[in-house]
């Protein structure tokens, strides 16, 4: 789970708020994805930021086919309730309830603005004010051959869907300049209707100081004393599993004494897990690939701290949380020189062509391990990550609300 649940309380009746942020997606399996992290970290910071403004912000906990749904002004209480169920609900039923009930919930709360952080659902009916969407990426539109489905009408259908979705919004928050550029280039959304607000990272969660999980981490995940290359994420096309695995094979040949192993944190579907294992066997590195499944944040931070390097060589990203989280934990990072990753990495990470496994391997092997170099990386990484605070994200998001409601 993304946060530890506090003592649960019932949602308090909310009679009037100025703006609503929908965080109901946290009841679904998306809670452990990047969008789940985005909402779970933005909402409490937004509540704190709004306390010093004239705007009253509420948070949508649930919507219904009929009725006004549940809205609360206590973000942490809503998040705790949404994450309290051990088995998340399916996303499709959630999506149709949101379509049917979002407008009613917004009007019932008296809100003049609705912010959808999970933008793939367009509400039915009039919400009574501007609708603000967060655009995380347009990867399916950029790469329809990999992501556009028959149900969407393949590439042309997906582009038409996106034009309607983003074109009908009053304003769009883009989580990186790369995403903003895609909105303008692919969908002709004018720059005046886009604001770039970078995602926020909680430095108190991601730290270079060892935690309780560090001492037993390798034993619990059967990692031995090998030099770990850490990756956190899925295995779809854009994540470039083939590039990582080929780089692992080359790195092991370049420096056999290091005994590199790839510690892969992330819940994979059975099909994708089998695909990764098949590629690893073909390359002869199957014994050096550890598929760990879902890893809680405490253990993931410990993995970053114990990594020889964190490898995140995606072909495309809307943002790239693992790059910043690893930096904050003192891990050297090897990432891609494309997409939003250039913005997120700055000059702290080593950036490489994601289509060049040889260069990825060379970068991994070249990472120095002496104490002085690691201390310098930790200091530079933490200073860089501090620019991406949740507080800054919340202030800039609130400023968008204020402009739209002026």
Size of the chain, expressed as the number of residues it contains: 406
Q: Is the model's pLDDT at 375 over the cut of 90?
A: no
Average pLDDT over residues 43-57: 95
Please write the tens of the pLDDT for every residue from 284-312.
Answer: 999 999 999 999 999 999 999 999 999 99
Measure the CA–CA gap between 174 and 154, rounded to whole angstroms: 24
Looking at residue 153, what is its pLDDT? 61
Predicted confidence (pLDDT) at residue 282 exceeds the cutoff of 70? yes
pLDDT band at 2 (very low <50, low <70, confident <90, very high): very low
pLDDT at 7: 43
| CA-wise closest residue to 152 among 120, 183, 130 | 120
pLDDT at residue 9 greater than cutoff 60: no
Q: What is the largest CA-CA distance in the chain?
A: 65
Report pLDDT for 6: 42
Cβ atoms within 10 Å of 2's Cβ, excluding its own: 18
- Residue 259, number of CB atoms within 10 A of its CB: 13
| Alpha carbon of residue 312 to chain centroid | 13
Report angle CA 302, 306, 308 to the nearest 5 degrees: 140
Which among 303, 364, 362 is positioned nearest to 332, based on CA atoms? 364
Smallest Cα–Cα separation from 72: which of 121, 22, 120? 22
Query: Could you read off the pLDDT of 79-117 as tens digits, one per residue?
Result: 999 999 878 888 889 999 999 999 999 999 999 999 999
Is the pLDDT at 336 greater than 80, yes or no?
yes
Query: What does the block give as tokens for 154?
Result: 């393949």
Please name the residue that has the structure tokens 């679904």: 28
pLDDT greater than 80 at residue 8: no
Average pLDDT, the chain: 91
Whole-number pLDDT of residue 370: 64
Encode pLDDT of 148-205 as tens digits: 776 666 678 778 888 888 989 999 999 999 999 999 999 999 999 999 999 999 988 9
Q: What is the DSSP string of 235-276?
A: -SGGG-HHHHHHHHHHHHHH-GGG-EEEEEEB---HHHHHHH
Contact (Cβ atoms closer than 8 angstroms) between residue 22 and residue 60: yes
Give the H or E element holding residue 96.
helix 91-108
pLDDT band at 3 (very low <50, low <70, confident <90, very high): very low
Give the C-alpha separation, 364 to 231, whole Å: 13
Neighbours of 405 (CB within 10 A): 15
Mean pLDDT for the stretch of residues 329-339:
95
Dihedral (CA of 398, 399, 402, 403) sign: negative
How confident is the model at residue 172, as a pLDDT? 98
Torsion on CA atoms 313, 315, 318, 320, rounded to nearest 10:
0
CB-based contact 148:138 (threshold 8 Å): no
CA 314 to chain centre: 13
Q: Which residues of 68-102 are buried (b: 16+ CB within 10 A; e: fewer)?
A: bbbbbbbbbbbbbbbbeeeebeeeeebbebbbbbb
Q: Which pLDDT band holds residue 1 (cuts at 50, 70, 90)? A: very low
Read off the pLDDT band of 10 (50, 70, 90): low
Q: What is the mean pLDDT of residues 376-388?
A: 87
Residue 342's contacts (CB-CB under 8 Å, 6 or more residues apart) are 178, 336, 351
pLDDT of the residue at 157? 76
Report which DSSP code applies to 87.
S
Point out which residues pair with 131 in neighbouring strands. 114
Least confident of 3-12, 115-124, 323-332, 381-390: 3-12
Give tens-digit pLDDT for 23-42. 999 999 999 888 999 999 99
> Inter-axis angle of helices 270-283 and 241-254, to 10 degrees?
30
Mean pLDDT of 269-296: 97
């Amino acid at each position: 789970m993304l946060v530890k649940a506090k003592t649960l309380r019932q949602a308090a009746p909310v009679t009037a708020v100025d703006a609503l942020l929908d965080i109901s997606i946290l009841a679904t399996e998306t809670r452990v994805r990047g969008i789940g992290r985005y909402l779970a970290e933005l909402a409490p910071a937004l509540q704190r930021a709004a306390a010093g403004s004239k705007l009253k912000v509420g948070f949508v906990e649930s919507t219904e086919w009929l009725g006004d749904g549940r809205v609360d002004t206590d973000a942490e209480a809503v998040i705790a309730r949404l994450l309290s169920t051990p088995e998340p609900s399916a996303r499709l039923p959630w999506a149709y309830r949101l379509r049917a009930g979002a407008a009613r919930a917004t009007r019932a709360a008296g809100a003049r603005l609705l912010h959808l952080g999970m933008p793939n659902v367009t509400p039915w009916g009039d919400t009574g004010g501007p609708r603000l969407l967060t655009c995380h990426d347009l990867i399916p539109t950029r790469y329809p051959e990999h992501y556009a489905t028959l149900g969407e009408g393949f590439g042309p259908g997906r582009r038409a869907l996106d034009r309607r979705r983003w074109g009908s919004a009053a304003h769009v928050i883009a989580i990186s300049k790369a995403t903003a550029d895609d909105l303008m280039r692919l969908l002709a959304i004018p720059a005046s209707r886009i604001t770039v607000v970078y995602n926020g990272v909680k430095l108190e969660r991601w730290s270079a100081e060892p935690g309780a999980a560090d001492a037993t981490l390798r034993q619990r995940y059967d990692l031995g004393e090998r030099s770990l290359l850490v990756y956190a994420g899925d295995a779809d096309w854009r994540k470039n599993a083939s590039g990582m695995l080929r780089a692992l094979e080359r790195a092991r040949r370049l420096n056999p004494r290091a005994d590199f192993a790839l510690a892969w944190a992330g819940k994979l579907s059975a099909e994708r897990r089998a695909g990764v294992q098949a590629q690893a066997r073909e390359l002869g590195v199957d014994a050096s690939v550890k598929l760990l499944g879902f890893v809680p944040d405490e253990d993931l931070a410990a993995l970053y701290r114990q990594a020889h390097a964190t490898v995140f060589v995606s072909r495309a990203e809307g943002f790239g949380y693992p790059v910043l989280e690893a930096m904050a934990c003192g891990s050297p990072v090897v990432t891609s020189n494309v997409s939003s990753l250039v913005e997120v990495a700055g000059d702290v990470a080593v950036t490489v062509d994601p289509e060049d496994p040889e260069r990825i391997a060379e970068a991994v092997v070249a990472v120095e391990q002496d104490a002085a170099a690691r201390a310098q990386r930790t200091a530079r990484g933490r200073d860089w990550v501090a620019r991406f605070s949740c507080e800054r994200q919340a202030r800039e998001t609130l400023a968008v609300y204020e402009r739209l409601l002026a």
